[in-house]
Amino acid sequence: MEQKPQNSQIEIAVFGNGFGESVIIHAGDNDWIIIDSCTNSDGEPVALDYLKRKGVAYSDVKLLVATHWHDDHIKGISKIFDECHNAKFVCSGALQTRDFLTVTHAYGSNTGKTNTLLKEFYSITQTMRARGFTKSQKCKTPTWACANRPIWTRKSKNTLLNCEVIALYPSDEAITSAHLEIGQLIPTEGMTRRSFPPKKTNDYCVVLLIKIGECSFLLGSDLQESDCKHKGWSIILSDETIELGESCFFKVPHHGSLNAHHDDIWEKVLTKDPLCILTPFSNGKNPIPTSEDIERVCSFSSQSFIAKSNATHIKTKMDKISAEFIKSSTKSFRKCSKAVGCVLVKGDLGLKNYNVTLHEGAMPLCTKAS
Amino acid sequence: MDTILCAEVKTDTSLPAASREGLVTPPDFIDGLPSDMWESILNINEQHSHIESARGSEGIGQQQDKVRPQHTFVLGGKRSPLNRFISLQKWEGVVLEIDEECFSARLSNFKKQDDEEICEIYLSEISDEDKNLVTPGAVFYWSIGYHTDMGGQRKRSSIIRFRRLGIWTTHDEKQANDFADETIKLTGWV
């Protein structure tokens, strides 16, 4: 069994498998935070597997955050919710609407093998309903993340162990426009049934600032910059009511893509040469990060790591007939690797001293660029 | 009887060995026959065996009475061995993005549960009646294998078929709305 961190140690594990990411943080004092979920090759949430291997009780998970509803961020999260009874479940304030529940039932109650977009949220609502039936005190209502809202706090005699988790986004504007969009997704009588269409933008995902003692961690989820000045990174950076400080750790948003970049993040709210981690997205038509993305991130930080290389492709073994048909019917065809890479950071409170270990295909980002 | 129905298939070397083994017994075909029809087949074959053994040494002119049991085809029944599809690979896919020439999709392999692939399929591979179903999030099934038509002709085949989920009904709307109202009541969601 792997070693549990000591109460005075911080640990950050960023998992990525090319189609999913999960961040598990030990915030000291045996309090654990899980942000998003992906699954391993056995189909199990990597977060639960990780905690089990370390001998951590699921009851020590204090926060479970679903930053948004894309299935590369929430696959398996309903199982984590079922197991981690003491965890506060946090999701975007954009989902606090009756219409979202209607849409969840319409599209999430009956899905096939592949389209699991709302299935996880449907499962979570089912669990919450069951707790509501039994009048259980355990989490049966989400905690809604919105701009500048503290969502979890821990006070300690040792001030280095004081912890505060603050949501920086979604903004009011993002929530309002999300409510309108979700309303338009409700199917009506006579409409042809379709699977839930994957949303392209990430207008209302949850961005978190985690302060542990003197150190801050900025977790950017998949937030992309927007044309609207009241959405995206611009609104976070221009909001004078939020004390952003300078973070020494940055989970780079949206797999390092250009549309999630904002110069002011690097220049105003991060320390010089911060520790950066990103996860790849290689299960779409255009894998990210691209080589230009890598070069850009590395220009801001030499301490950058990626949870798994984008270059990991497996040759597909198949009978000759199928291979011939695939060759003539498709422009491209590649097998997805389900192996999950991990960048693990362990350090003291304040992260003044830390070390980074790379597992299962994780690698330094800047070595790739050179 | 299984042996008689399958002898022809087992010796058909145009099929891959794995497929031949898979065709040892066509259980759905046998199970679909009414029992009295099945008995009559057994009786016919017994009679033919008797004739063959009795006339085994007859001259050429009298061999026309001989019927070889291994070429007996059973007509009728609930399902026919003809017009069937033998799948070599099958996926369930979901459409990710669409452009002018093709659409990208994520595939989940039915035969190997843990395998997933990403591909770009040419739009020209989609039948006209399915073309308007190609939208992001749409689910389809892709099968590659052998198709035997009613005339017994076998050919290689690739079929992409989009899932038709019907239409939303008043009942579906009511179910979704009731779910929302009850969830709010139980959890205080809103």
Q: What is each CA distance from B164 to A188, A195, A297, A315, B132, in whole angstroms?
A: 17, 10, 44, 32, 11
CB contact under 8 A, A129 and B183: yes
Weakest-pLDDT range from A222-226, A304-308, B1-5: B1-5
Average pLDDT over residues B53-63: 37
CA distance A118 to B11: 50
- Picking from B125, B137, B158, the nearest residue to A195 by CB comes out as B137
pLDDT at B81: 61
A334/chain B closest Cα distance in angstroms: 5
Measure CB to CB from residue B188 to each of A19, A133, A141 and give the nearest one. A141
Chain B residues with CB inside 8 Å of A190's CB? 167-168
Residue B9 has pLDDT above 60, yes or no: no
Inter-chain residue contact A285 with B120, CB threshold 8 Å: yes
CA A33/CA A62 separation, integer angstroms: 6
- Whether A69 contacts A95, CB under 8 Å: yes
Q: CA A59, CA A206: separation in Å to the nearest integer?
A: 23
Identify all chain A residues contacting B186, using CB atoms and an 8 Å cutoff: 128-129, 132-133, 140
Is the per-residue pLDDT at A62 higher than 90? Answer: yes
Mean pLDDT value across residues A174-180: 93
The confidence score (pLDDT) of residue B164 equals 84
CA–CA dist A153, A62 (Å, integer): 10
Chain B residue closest in CA terms to A43: B114
If pLDDT is split at 50, 70 and 90, which confidence band does B39 have? very low
What is the residue-averaged pLDDT of chain B? 69
> Chain A residue closest to B165 (CA)?
A193
In this prediction the pTM is 0.80
Distance CA A277, CA A217 (A): 11
The pLDDT assigned to A351 comes to: 84
Q: Is the pLDDT of residue A48 over 90?
A: yes
Q: Which residues of chain B neighbour A114 with C-beta distances below 8 Å?
A: 92-94, 106-108, 139
Q: Which residues of A touch B185 (CB under 8 A)?
A: 132
**Partner residue facing A321 (CB), from B88, B107, B169:** B88
What percent of chain A has pLDDT above 90?
A: 67
- How confident is residue A115, by pLDDT bands cut at 50, 70 and 90? low
Residue of B nearest to A330 (CA): B121
Residue A96 with chain B: CB contacts under 8 Å: 189-190
CB contact under 8 A, A194 and B108: no
Given a cut of 80, whether residue A141 has pLDDT beyond it is yes
User: Å from A95 to nearest chain B CA?
Assistant: 9
Q: What tens digit of pLDDT does each residue of B110-167 get?
A: 877 667 888 999 999 999 999 988 988 888 999 998 888 888 889 988 999 998 878 8
Residue A90 near residue A151, CB atoms below 8 Å: yes
Spatial CA neighbour of A83 closest among A30, A138, A41, A2 = A138
Q: Which band of pLDDT confidence, cut at 50, 70 and 90, is reported for residue A286? A: confident
pLDDT on residue A312: 54
Q: What span, in angstroms and rounded, lies between the C-alpha atoms of B165 and A279?
A: 35
pLDDT at B77: 52
Inspect the interface and report whether the beta carbons of A128 and B187 lie closer than 8 Å.
yes
Q: pLDDT tens digits, residue range A68-108?
A: 988 789 999 999 999 999 999 999 999 999 999 999 998 88
pLDDT at position B178: 96
Of residues B158 and A132, more confidently modeled: B158
- From chain B, the residues in CB contact with A199 under 8 A are none
Distance from CA of A162 to the nearest CA of B (A): 30
Q: Which residues in chain A are contacts of B115 at CB distance < 8 A?
A: 335
Predicted local confidence at residue A118, as pLDDT: 85
Residue of B86, B127, B168, B177 to mutate for A, most A C-beta atoms under 10 A: B168
Query: Across residues B64-70, what is the average pLDDT?
Result: 43
- Give which of B179, B182, B184 to mutate to test A binding, by max A Cβ within 10 Å: B179
Among the listed ranges A146-150, A236-240, A314-318, A339-343, which one has the minimum average pLDDT value? A314-318
Mutate to test the interface with B, among A196, A285, A288, A337 (most CBs of B within 10 A): A285
Q: DSSP character for B133?
A: G
- The verdict on a CB contact (< 8 Å) between A112 and B163 is yes
How is B38-60 classified by DSSP, letter by letter?
HHHHHHHHHHHHHHHHHTTT--G
Sign of CA dihedral B106, B111, B115, B117: negative
How far, in Å, CA of B144 to CA of B139, rounded?
A: 17
The mean predicted confidence, pLDDT, of chain A is 90
pLDDT above 90 (res A152): yes
Q: Are A115 and A166 in contact (CB under 8 A)?
A: no
Q: Using CB atoms, which residue from A97, A284, A331 is nearest to B122?
A: A331
CA distance, residue A286 to nearest chain B CA (Å): 10
Q: What is the per-residue pLDDT for A9?
A: 94
The two tokens of residue B89 are 């690979």
Q: What confidence tens digit (pLDDT) does each residue in A6-37 have?
A: 999 999 999 998 888 999 999 999 999 999 99
Give residue A109's pLDDT band: very low, low, confident or very high (50, 70, 90). confident
Choose among A41, A191, A329: nearest Cβ to B122: A329
How many residue pairs from chains A and B have C-beta atoms closer than 8 A? 176
Residue whose token pair is 């209607």? A102
Give the model confidence (pLDDT) of A245-257 as tens digits. Answer: 999 999 999 999 9
pLDDT band at A347 (very low <50, low <70, confident <90, very high): very high
Looking at the predicted structure, is the pLDDT value of residue B44 above 80?
Answer: no
Rounded to 10 deg, the angle between the A119-133 and A98-108 helix axes is 120
Kindly report which listed range (A194-198, B74-78, B92-96, B121-125) carries the lowest average pLDDT score. B74-78
Contact: B117, A128; criterion CB under 8 Å: no
